Amino acid sequence: MVDQHMASPDQFVEDYIANLTNTQISTSIPMWDVHILNLKTCDAESTLVIRVHHSLGDGTSLMSFLISCCRKTSEPDALPSFPAAKKSRPHTGWFWKFWSVLLLAWNTLVDIWMCVATTYFLKDTQTPLKAPSRAVAFTSRRIVRRTFCVDDVILVKNATNTKVNDVVLAITQAGLSRYLNRKYGKCMGDGESWENNLPNSVRLTATLFINLRSYPGIYAIAEMVKKHSQTDWGNKIGYVLYPFKIALKDNPLDYIRDAKATMDRKKATLEAQFRLFMAKVFVRFYPTKLATFPLTTMWFSNVAGPQEEISLFGNQVTFIAPSLYGQPVALTIHIISYEKKISMVLSVDDNIIPDPYQLCDDFEEALKLVKKAVVAEGLIKK
């Protein structure tokens, strides 16, 4: 029986989930389970923990399933809106088509070579964020989150003519740089001015997961399970290697420029499709699929959530925090949007990253600095 008057209910929920990551889902029964923690925390009256084996579906499939089980709070009989992404229009004209094909082929060859090199000999710098070996896949995880106002992210996106994903990646890069700089040295003054304690060259790569469905976005479960549907259910994800440029920049908007340039480059490659093909080969012919993943420093994923407030079986949902465990890295970040909020959910090995809330603070501060720089440069009106 849970003590309803315990001193720290939020810590109890966090510890409960961390203890769950010490156990595995049995394959002899349906590979999912549900835990209801009827304990009031600072965010909600109770917490619902749904644990699902990844073989049943990827983030897009599981989010579609969750939304399909929910209803709008404002209209209890209506399904929530599904945030389907818009496909970009290709360039027209023979020259642009020829150039695009040529660029795609070259970028794909370079990225495949980099995947092979990263897997076997081109290793990331051994920073305070990096796991020393793949054995970290069998350790417990602590899952924490930090929520931001989605309007702040959209404000920066519109002012810099970028995508939400570009802004989130820029915030991540800036936050990681602040965190590692603190680890390598000491903060100067009141925290606004920093001594640069970072090594001259830090190689920090993320495994960035990509939804490879023909029509990206979140769809109703009835649509996804249709035969021959282009939004099919299951695991249909590939990944690319995303290099974070770890540095303290004088102009925070340089993080935005770095993220946009890198993502524009990653959109012109078949790296994710190649990795999905190789994953299927390894799963079929080798006993473990961990062999398909280069040993990067971290994993990163971004999935769209409900656009309006929802309820699950008559219970209002205050937040959604997807995460995972069993990965061969010490840090995994999931980005999830819900209504007017966007959350960064961190899954960390606290033997390697003992202060995940400090990392959350750095991400939050990074967003504030980027937003402040946007205003200072006159890109938006105050």
Q: Which of 5, 53, 54, 228 is an active site residue? A: 54
Pairing of strands 298-303, 331-338: parallel
Q: What is the largest CA-CA distance in the chain?
A: 70
- Name the burial class of residue 152, with classes exposed (0-12), middle (13-18) and buried (19+) by CB atoms within 10 angstroms of its CB: middle
Closest by CA position to 175, among listed 344, 366, 331, 346: 366
| H helix or E strand, kind and range, residue 19 | helix 9-20
Distance CA 375, CA 359 (A): 25
First to last CA, the chain: 52
35 counts as catalytic: no
Closest by CA position to 54, among listed 371, 283, 374: 283
Burial string for 181-215 (b: 16+ CB within 10 Å, else e) reads: bbeeeeeeeeeeebeeebeeebbbbbbbbbbbbee
Distance CA 352, CA 251 (A): 30
Closest by CA position to 69, among listed 52, 53, 44: 52
Q: For residue 175, give the 3-state DSSP assignment.
A: helix
Q: For residue 272, give the 3-state DSSP assignment.
A: helix
Q: Which residues are catalytic?
A: 54
